[in-house]
Amino acid sequence: MKRLTKKQALTLFKSADLLGLGMMADNVRKKLHPERIVSFIIDRNINYTNVCINKCKFCAFYRNEDDPEAYILSKRNLFNKIKETISLGGTQILIQGGLHPKLDIDYYVDLLKSIKERFPIHIHGFSPPEVCYMADKANLPIKKTLQILNEAGLDSIPGGGAEILSDRIREQISPKKIGKDRWLEVMKQAHRIGMKTTATMMFGSVEEPEDIIEHLDAIRRLQDKTNGFTAFIPWSFQPGNTELGGRGKGQGARGKEFKIQNSKPNSSLATRHLSLSTATAVDYLRVLALSRIYLDNVPNIQASWVTQGIKMAQIALRFGANDFGSTMIEENVVAAAGVKYKVSVRDIISAVRSSGFHPAQRDMYYKIIKNSNL
Amino acid sequence: MLLNKIENKVITGHRLTTDDALSLFQNDDIFTIGRLANIVAGRKNGNKAYFIQNHHINPTNICINRCKFCAFSRSKGEKGAYELSIGEIIDKLKEGQESRVKSQELSKKQLKSKKKNFKLLTHNSKLLTLFSEVHIVGGLHPDWDFGFYLEMLRAIKTNFPTIHTKAFTAVEIDYFSNISGLPLTETLQELNNAGLDSMPGGGAEIFDTRVRNRICPEKISGRRWLQVMEAAHRVGISTNATMLYGHLESYKNRVEHMLKLRDLQDRTGGFQAFIPLAFHPLNTKLGVRSQGSEVSKRNKTNPQSLTPNPCLYTSGIDDLKTIAISRLFLDNFQHIKAYWIMLGEKIAQLALMFGADDLDGTIIEEKITHSAGALSGSALTRAQLINLIEKTGKIPVERDSFYNRVKR
Ligand code: SF4
Ligand code: SF4
């Protein structure tokens, strides 16, 4: 299949029916992954601090420094979590946190070194906003910062904080967060020094189809240059416990009804601008399928069972996804928004199987570690 | 390929054989299956997707059957057992309407003047149009006599003359016939005279005897279920039909189940909608669901997750395929219902693109749902349902019990 242009993608996204889009994405997935393997990684999400100066509107996780719930994870706690992870068959930790004003690069270097000294575990950590914050505070260029972290033991970088790579949208939902260019810069520099990263997209807030395409295009263009992205992970905005979604108004993990009410037939995308309703199942699958079709140079697409639920993730496997992501031994960031899924490795394995695929445990580079006797 | 042959049949409006249906279940091409089902749904109901505002009442959880999977039922005297009096049922319906008025008012942001709100709350004729259907199912109570049920129906009709009463699964009807000593037809006739307008489709489970004996040996047989339904249709009571899948049954069992329904429908035409229900293994939802109360008893999880042990559930793909194949196979059923309370709003929404045309109701707070610890999110508002439907490109239609449009 010829590469899709931005314009073609937009037309497709706006006018193709869901089943048609799904079929196209499914065919792309089949070509790229004909062996019918659906991979997953056993890892643990460790949030070292929930203090964050950014206060993004959609984030239910952060706290102010003086908040009674504010914390910095102790090393003992951290090591225990890692031990547990390894004993559960885990091969990786995903370590992320808020932008804490009191932590500097030395803290992170020490953190990484102390982990690597003790554990043979892959460290996937620090999304671009964190890397930039460290660099700025230490007055170092991004590249140098990454090199320091890499030497200290950081193996790869998660694609978080991308939200929608469109500055128009970022100004609305995360005004203090790094812009599109810096996000891409971190990834580019990481790839240049040989680190692999993932890329994410959080949609379903205030963006238009054009913004989604812009995001996909930015990823595709960088990938053409660096080939450093291992996977793309689209997920939808969870309006639970957040400013954008009406924090503390007792709405639960669902969009606000009075806003949805404004929607007229066939204007759902336009009114979503105001509505902030959670992206529905249809929206999620459309974006997922489009991502698979558009990102012809990104090998893997992850289904987000954490935000969508297991059944949706199963369906996602036929709409472009070939990976079930992480078993998420711990997921504080999304859980704080009122979405909580607890599943075990066994659950993931049989969820994959009952969707007609072969489950296989992988590492961060998508190398299969274990696919027999599962 | 095989699918081509079936596609031709569907396009030209020919009935599918059981072999066709079986090969669809074994086929991996969910996109073509979905597209075909959507074509058929379009022929039957245009581009419409229905929902209804209804209210559920479970008069008692005391049940002599105590099916092994049923978490809802209690024995008499057991902790947590309850029974509602007729007065309490009437009160609940009144409360239900009032809370509906409030939520409607809230959502319409018409709370500008308290006075106006008050006026609405007390204006009776307005109240009566707020939900159009009451849905009643419960346990098989050891002491209640048939007369009590008749009285219950009469009381509801007297107090709410415009509300449609959809009540009692085939399991309960069979029980009524036993306790009253009346033949099925007369039992149904009496209920009908007292105010029973239609019946839900619960208790069908899976008709295959071998499987049925393993999952719910305490229940009436599949044959008896079909007899009850046939009798109901003959006295003019329309009903729904369900199928519980995703437990021990084979695809063949599913197809045979649907075939029995299709055959009966050929004879009576009394079924309104077919409702496939996915089995939830760990938490006993089977009990409540198979009773046909169709009341969600979710765990404390997100509505979509159906955890704690999602792996034992049917796959989302199977859910969509089952909806689609039922739409293709049951050519004499007008409606296929994707019951969102059971499926979760995400799968239910997708089902609308796989042949379903009905999401059922918005349900306001209700006893069983809450005692079982369901999330507060178990009620979708009208606006949310409309949003879900519109995102599929369908036209939302709020319906009454007979699929007539309700004007608001
Ligand atoms: S999303 Fe990240 S950067 Fe934004 S407030 Fe939350 S923790 Fe901070
Ligand atoms: S499933 Fe129905 S018949 Fe069986 S015990 Fe529960 S309420 Fe009684």
pLDDT in tens, A21-55: 999 999 999 999 999 999 999 998 899 999 999 88
- Entry field: residues in chain B: 408
Q: Which of B381, B378, B362 is nearest to B370 (CA)?
A: B378
ipTM for the assembly? 0.84
Residue-wise pLDDT tens digits, A13-24? 999 999 999 999
Name the token pair of B147: 């007369």
* Residue B346: inside a domain: yes
- The nearest alpha carbon in chain A to B300 belongs to A340
Span from the CA of A337 to the centroid of ligand 1 (angstroms): 13
Cβ(A52) – ligand 1 distance below 6 Å: yes
Residue-wise pLDDT tens digits, A336-350? 554 444 457 778 888
pLDDT for residue B106: 54
C-alpha B196/C-alpha B199 separation (Å) is: 8
Work out the average pLDDT over A282-302.
97
* Residue B299: inside a domain: no
pLDDT for residue A34: 95
Mean pLDDT score of chain A, rounded to an integer? 84
Cβ(B169) – ligand 2 distance below 6 Å: no
Asked if the model's pLDDT at residue B141 lies above 50, the reply is yes
- Place A267 in a pLDDT band, splitting at 50, 70 and 90: very low
Structure-model confidence comparison of residues B286 and B312, the more confident one: B312
Work out the average pLDDT over B139-167.
95
CB B311 within 8 A of CB A346: yes
- Place B40 in a pLDDT band, splitting at 50, 70 and 90: very high
Q: Say if A101 is an interface residue toward chain B (CB within 8 Å).
A: no
Residue nearest atom 5 of ligand 2, based on CA coordinates:
B66
Cβ(A189) – ligand 1 distance below 6 Å: no
Number of compact structural domains in chain B: 1
Strands (E), chain A: 37-41, 43-47, 92-96, 122-125, 156-157, 196-203, 229-236, 300-301, 323-326, 358-362, 368-370
Structure-model confidence comparison of residues B260 and A252, the more confident one: B260
Least confident of A68-72, A142-146, A274-278, B295-299: B295-299
CB B273 within 8 A of CB B360: no
Residue-wise pLDDT tens digits, A106-122? 999 999 999 999 999 99
Q: Which of B304, B342, B394 to mutate to test the interface with A (most CBs of A within 10 A)?
A: B304
pLDDT for residue B15: 97
pLDDT for residue A255: 28
Residue B203's domain comprises 2-279+314-398
C-alpha B353/C-alpha B34 separation (Å) is: 7
Cβ(A241) – ligand 1 distance below 6 Å: no
Q: Say if A175 is an interface residue toward chain B (CB within 8 Å).
A: no
Q: Could A311 and B38 be called an inter-chain contact, meaning their C-beta atoms sit closer than 8 Å? A: no
Residue nearest atom 5 of ligand 1, based on CA coordinates:
A55
Cβ(B73) – ligand 2 distance below 6 Å: yes
C-alpha B100/C-alpha B365 separation (Å) is: 10
Range among A304-313, B139-148, B276-285, B298-307 rated most confident: B139-148
Asked if the model's pLDDT at residue B286 lies above 60, the reply is no
pLDDT for residue B103: 57
Span from the CA of B340 to the centroid of ligand 2 (angstroms): 22
pLDDT for residue B246: 87
Asked if the model's pLDDT at residue A250 lies above 80, the reply is no
pLDDT for residue B8: 95
C-alpha B398/C-alpha B405 separation (Å) is: 6
C-alpha B107/C-alpha B122 separation (Å) is: 19
CB A209 within 8 A of CB A10: yes
Work out the average pLDDT over B361-373.
43
CA atoms within 13 A on the CB side of B333: 34
pLDDT for residue A343: 59
Ligand showing the shortest atom-to-Cα distance for residue A163? 1
Asked if the model's pLDDT at residue B292 lies above 80, the reply is no
Asked if the model's pLDDT at residue B311 lies above 70, the reply is no
pLDDT for residue A248: 27
Atom of ligand 1 nearest to the CA of A130: 3
B100: Cα separation from own chain's centroid: 21
C-alpha A61/C-alpha A97 separation (Å) is: 9
Asked if the model's pLDDT at residue B118 lies above 50, the reply is no
Structure-model confidence comparison of residues A153 and A167, the more confident one: A153
pLDDT for residue A204: 85
In chain A, % of residues over pLDDT 70: 84
Residue found by looking up tokens 């796989």 in the block: B354
Least confident of A140-154, A169-183, B238-252: A169-183
* Residue B406: inside a domain: no
Shortest distance, CA B359 to any CA of chain A (angstroms): 15
Q: Which of B249, B240, B259, B246 is nearest to B21 (CA)?
A: B259
pLDDT for residue B383: 81
CB B2 within 8 A of CB B23: yes
* Residue B142: inside a domain: yes
pLDDT for residue B308: 30
pLDDT for residue A242: 46
B188-191: long-range contacts, CB 8 A cutoff, minimum separation 24: B188/B231, B188/B232, B188/B235, B188/B237, B189/B235, B190/B146, B190/B150, B191/B149, B191/B150, B191/B153, B191/B167, B191/B237
Name the token pair of A111: 């953190």
Count Cβ atoms within 10 A of the Cβ of residue A224 and give its class: 0-12 exposed, 13-18 middle, 19 or more buried. exposed
Q: Could A281 and B347 be called an inter-chain contact, meaning their C-beta atoms sit closer than 8 Å? A: yes
Asked if the model's pLDDT at residue B67 lies above 80, the reply is no
Work out the average pLDDT over A84-110.
92
In chain B, % of residues over pLDDT 70: 78
Provide the b/e sequence for B103-142 (b: ≥16 CB within 10 Å).
bbeebeeeeeeeeebeebeeeeeebeebbbbbbbbbbbbe
Q: Say if A14 is an interface residue toward chain B (CB within 8 Å).
A: no
* Residue B233: inside a domain: yes
Mutate to test the pocket of ligand 1, among A46, A49, A58, A59 (most ligand atoms within 8 A of CB): A59
Work out the average pLDDT over B50-58.
89
Comparing CB atoms, the residue among B305, B384, B391 nearest residue A341 is B305
Asked if the model's pLDDT at residue A99 lies above 60, the reply is yes
Domain containing residue B112: CATH number: 3.20.20.70
| Cβ-based contacts of A314 with chain B (< 8 Å) | 315-317
What is residue A197's three-state secondary structure?
A: strand
pLDDT for residue B307: 30
Residue-wise pLDDT tens digits, B264-285? 999 999 999 999 988 765 444 3
pLDDT for residue B111: 38
Strands (E), A179-254: 196-203, 229-236
| Cβ-based contacts of B384 with chain A (< 8 Å) | 254-255, 257, 260, 277
CB B293 within 8 A of CB B138: yes
CB B153 within 8 A of CB B134: no
C-alpha B27/C-alpha B22 separation (Å) is: 9
Residue ranges of domains in chain A, CATH in brackets: 6-371 (3.20.20.70)
**CA quadruple B129, B91, B119, B105: dihedral positive or negative?**
negative
Phi, psi of B146 (to 5 degrees): -60, -40
Name the token pair of B267: 């004879």
pLDDT for residue B325: 98
C-alpha B138/C-alpha B60 separation (Å) is: 5
What is the amino acid identity at position A86? I
pLDDT for residue B145: 95
Q: B181 CB contacts (<8 Å, ≥6 apart)?
A: none
Name the token pair of A156: 């790869």
pLDDT for residue B368: 34
Asked if the model's pLDDT at residue A94 lies above 90, the reply is yes
Residue-wise pLDDT tens digits, B202-217? 999 999 999 999 888 8
Q: Which of B390, B394, B395, B397 to mutate to test the interface with A (most CBs of A within 10 A)?
A: B390
Asked if the model's pLDDT at residue B299 lies above 80, the reply is no
* Residue B72: inside a domain: yes
